[in-house]
Homo-oligomer: A and B are copies of this chain.
Amino acid sequence: MADFDVFEAGDVVLQSGMTLRGARLAYKTYGALNARRDNVIICPTWYSAQHTENEWMIGEGKALDPSRYFIVIPNMFGNGLSSSPSNHPAPYDRARFPQVTLCDNVRVQRRLLKERFGVEAIALVTGFSMGAQQAFHWGALFPDMVQRIAPFCGTAKTSRHNFVFLEGVKAALTADDAWQNGWYDRPPTKGLRAFSRVYAGWGFSQAFYREKVDLAMGFASLEDFLVGMWEGLFLGRDANDLLAMLWSWQHSDISNNELYNGDLERALGAITARAIVMPSATDLYFTVADVEGEVRRMPNAECRPIPSIWGHAAGALGLNPADATFIDDALKELLAAPRG
C-alpha cells in the first residue's frame, strides 16, 4: 500500500519544449493545515531519494514539528515515485523521458499547494542538496509567496565543477554496454556499481576518510564501505531515473527562465525570503565558496557553514547527529524570526 498521495498535474509543458503528459507528482504530508493556511513547510527531495528519506527531519520537538506545521514533501520528477523514466507510459518512457528542470518541478509543486490545499503563503522551504536547489527555486520563482528558505548543501545554480563531477558519474554508468543507451531490459549493474564507486570519492570529504569515520559507522574495511554503503545505495535504482535527475541537477539555475533570462544576480537579488543557507564546510561539490558567492547577492540571507568533516553527506539522512542538530537549530531560529 502506497504511503503517499499523488497530484495529477495533467499535461505539463516543460522548459525543454516537451510535454510531460499525465504528469504525476507524488507527495506526502505530515501534520495539519491550520485555518489560516499559513503553517506550511515544504521539503523537496534530493538526488535519488524519495520522501521517506527526508523524514529524519520531522518529529515532535524538531523544527519540522508536525504538531505545529503542515509539512509537504514533494518527490522530484525522475525519482521513481513522481513521473519518471521507470514509470512513465510510452512513448515518453525510459530513454525517451523528457528533460525536466527544477523550475519545472517547482512550478508543479506550487500548483499542488494552490490547487489541492489552497495555500498562498509558505512559511519555509528547506532541503538538502537538490532539495536545497529547489528551495532556491521556490525563493526566486515565487518571492511573494515564500517567507523563508533554508537550503543546505546546495546552490542556486550548479557550478561548472559540480557539472564535471556529474559528467564523471554519468560516464561511469553509461560505459556499461548493458546500459544500451537506456533501452536495457535488465539493469546495467556493472555501470551502477561503477557510478557508486565514483560517487564515493565525492560524497564524503578527504577528512572523513582520513579519520576513518566509515569504520566508526560499522563497516569492516574501506572496501566493505564501498560495497555496503555506496553500491548498496545506487544498485537498486533505475539507471534512466538516475540519469534524468542528473540532468536536472546539472542544469539547475534559478535564472534560466523567462523571469530572469539567465541573469543570476537578478534572480538571487529577487529572493526576498529570509534565508539561512548552510553549506557543509567540507563539501567537495557544493562548496562554501560557491554558496558564499550566491548569498552575497541575496538581500536577506546569511551563509552559515556546517562545521563538519562529513563533506556533502553532512546534510544526508541525519547520519551525523551533530550536523543534524546544527541544521535543526538553524531551522528553529529561522522559523522563530520574522518572515522575509
Question: B201 near A165 (CB under 8 angstroms)?
Answer: yes
Which A residues from 47 to 91 make CB contacts under 8 A with B? none
Copy number in the complex reads 2
Asked whether A37 is an interface residue with its Cβ less than 8 Å from the other chain, the reply is: no
Interchain CB contact (< 8 A) of A200 among B167, B175, B208, B212: B167
Chain B residues in 8 Å Cβ range of A163: 222
Question: A168 near B171 (CB under 8 angstroms)?
Answer: no
**Surface stretch bound by B, among A132-140, A187-195, A266-274, A321-329:** A187-195
Asked whether A104 is an interface residue with its Cβ less than 8 Å from the other chain, the reply is: no
- Complex: A190 Cα to B177 Cα, angstroms: 9
A106 to chain B, nearest CB (A): 25
Interchain CB contact (< 8 A) of A160 among B177, B191, B209, B285: B209
Chain B residues in 8 Å Cβ range of A197: 164, 167-168, 170-171
Contact bitstring A150-189, B, C-beta under 8 A = 1, else 0: 0000000001110111011111111111100000000000
A39 to chain B, nearest CB (A): 39
Question: B290 near A210 (CB under 8 angstroms)?
Answer: yes
Contact bitstring A185-228, B, C-beta under 8 A = 1, else 0: 00000110110011111101111111010000000001000100
- Complex: A175 Cα to B172 Cα, angstroms: 7
Question: B210 near A160 (CB under 8 angstroms)?
Answer: yes
Which A residues from 244 to 299 make CB contacts under 8 A with B? 284-285, 287, 289-290
User: Which B residue sits closest to A207, measured CB to CB?
Assistant: B289
Contact bitstring A22-62, B, C-beta under 8 A = 1, else 0: 00000000000000000000000000000000000000000
A309 to chain B, nearest CB (A): 10
Chain B residues in 8 Å Cβ range of A290: 206, 210
Question: A164 near B200 (CB under 8 angstroms)?
Answer: yes
Question: B209 near A164 (CB under 8 angstroms)?
Answer: yes
Chain B residues in 8 Å Cβ range of A204: 161
Chain B residues in 8 Å Cβ range of A164: 197, 200-201, 209, 222, 226
Which A residues from 92 to 150 make CB contacts under 8 A with B? none
Interface centre among A164, A170, A284 (most CB of B within 10 A): A164
- Complex: A198 Cα to B202 Cα, angstroms: 11
Quick one: given A175-B172, A176-B176, are A161 and B191 in contact (CB under 8 Å)? no
Quick one: given A161-B210, A210-B159, A210-B161, are A194 and B174 in contact (CB under 8 Å)? yes
The 9 closest A-B pairs by CB, nearest first: A168-B198, A171-B194, A161-B209, A172-B172, A175-B194, A171-B197, A160-B209, A175-B175, A177-B177
| Extra pairs beyond A164-B200, A201-B202 (7, CB < 8 Å) | A164-B197, A165-B201, A169-B198, A174-B194, A177-B177, A206-B290, A210-B289
Q: 19 A-B Cβ contacts within 8 A?
A: A159-B206, A159-B209, A160-B210, A160-B222, A163-B222, A167-B201, A168-B199, A171-B172, A172-B175, A174-B194, A175-B190, A175-B193, A177-B177, A177-B178, A198-B198, A206-B284, A206-B287, A206-B289, A206-B290
